[in-house]
Amino acid sequence: MEPAAPSLRVLPSERGAPEPSGWEAVYSATVVPVYRYVYARVGNRPDAEDLTTQVFMRALPRLRLGAPEEEIRGYLFATARTVLADHWRDAFDAPVAALPEDLAYAPPPPADEEAGVRRAGAILERLPERYRRVLELRFLRGYSLRETGAALGITAGNAKVIQHRALRKAAEVAEEM
């Protein structure tokens, strides 16, 4: 389908994207930040994709298109929080009351979708060296327990024990932040 000679010349004054239809403009502007927001709270792709889908399927038909962008984002992230709370309750029996931090880090402003990543980094920084090292190798570098053990001169079993303690400590630190 190679096009022939230019069929239309666009002069500078005529350029510019056509008005996107309502929901598509909303979707394009928010799908990545909503996904990242969800991912930072479930930590795996299948759940992140499933829950992001739920957020948009649920929220888009109810949006008042043409509302201020902040209002639309607010509604989407509120929906995301609801979907996440349902997920944790249904999948892990973790009651909503046990998830207080969502209020603390609220809907990210437009240029700040990385708040979750920064927070995770801050948690790591407050851990004792040995704990931090294990979590870095595992979560940041994707090392297996065996590789983690080899890097630290300990057994895989030991690495697993330290990982577990490190997570427990990280959970304490996270609660205090």
Partner 1 sequence: MSDEQDRPDQPARRVDDYVEALLHDRQPRRFPAEPEEAELLRVAAELRGLRPGADLPRREFIDALRARLARQAGEAGGGGVSRRALLAGGAAAAAALAAGVGLDRALEGSNDRPQVARGGALEPRAARWVAVAELAALPDGAATRFSAGAIEGFLVRRGEAVDAISAVCTHMGCILKFNPAAGRLDCPCHSASFGLDGQPLNREYLTALPRLVSRVSAGSVEVRVDA
Footprint of partner 1 on 110-139 (CB under 8 A): 111, 113-114, 116-117, 119-121, 123-124, 135, 138-139
Q: Which of 6, 13, 68, 104 is close enough to bind partner 1 by CB under 8 A?
A: 6
Listed residue (44, 40, 50) closest to 115, CA to CA: 40
**Which residues have a Cβ under 8 Å from the Cβ of 64 and sit 6 or more positions away?**
71
Q: Which of residues 140-159 bind partner 1 (CB under 8 A)?
A: 140-142
In eight-state DSSP terms, residue 44 is S
Tell me the per-residue interface mask from 23 to 52 with partner 1, x by CB under 8 A, - otherwise.
xxx-xxx-xxx-xx--xxxxxxxxxxx--x
Q: For residue 177, state whether it binds partner 1 (rule: CB under 8 A).
A: no
Q: Rounded to an integer, what distance in angstroms lies between the CA atom of residue 165 and that of residue 78?
A: 33
Number of amino acids touching partner 1 (CB under 8 A): 82
Q: Which of residues 85-114 bind partner 1 (CB under 8 A)?
A: 88, 90-94, 98-99, 101, 111, 113-114
Q: Which of 13, 21, 125, 176 is close enough to bind partner 1 by CB under 8 A?
A: 21
Cα 36 to Cα 10, 33, 70, 105, 111: the distances in Å are 37, 5, 18, 13, 13
Give the shortest CB-57-to-partner 1 separation in angstroms: 6
Q: Rounded to an integer, what distance in angstroms lies between the CA atom of residue 7 and that of residue 35?
A: 39
Please check whether residue 107 is in contact with residue 79, taking contact to mean a CB–CB distance below 8 angstroms. no
Q: Which of 2, 125, 129, 176 is close enough to bind partner 1 by CB under 8 A?
A: 2
Q: Which of 16, 104, 129, 153 is close enough to bind partner 1 by CB under 8 A?
A: 16
Q: For residue 73, state whether it binds partner 1 (rule: CB under 8 A).
A: no
Q: For residue 5, state whether it binds partner 1 (rule: CB under 8 A).
A: yes
In eight-state DSSP terms, residue 112 is -
Cα 122 to Cα 50, 116, 119: the distances in Å are 28, 10, 5
